[in-house]
Amino acid sequence: MARFPRDRVRIEGRSQTFVRVGDSGKPSTLHFCPNCGSTVYWEMSSLPDFLAIAYGAFADARLPAPMVSVYEEFAHKWAIPQIDGIEHRD
């Protein structure tokens, strides 16, 4: 996911929503495509001035590599990216 200031994002098209409580105990509203069900972006109550957008929603190969990897304790070890300079958080 990539986080962007809410005022720098323009959302187009329809979405369906689902509210989920995260590990922090705070809710997030996930917006997903009503046709295929893919999560496209979400609003986090803990960061109301930002929107999180699934990196896979971008069709631009020039996007920079991630700087932080989170929730690694839930991932298979073979799925954790080994990128020089990236911060790893459990």
Return d(Cα 20, Cα 33) in angstroms, integer. Answer: 16
pLDDT of residue 73: 76
Return d(Cα 17, Cα 23) in angstroms, integer. Answer: 19
pLDDT of residue 29: 96
pTM tops 0.85: no
Domain edges within the chain: 1-59, 61-90
27-68: pLDDT as tens digits: 999 999 999 998 899 999 989 999 998 877 788 888 887 777
If we measure between CA atoms, which residue out of 1, 2, 4 comes closest to residue 49? 4
In the predicted structure, residue 81 carries a pLDDT above the cut 70: no
pLDDT of residue 80: 65
Tokens found for residue 68: 């932080």
Length of the chain: 90
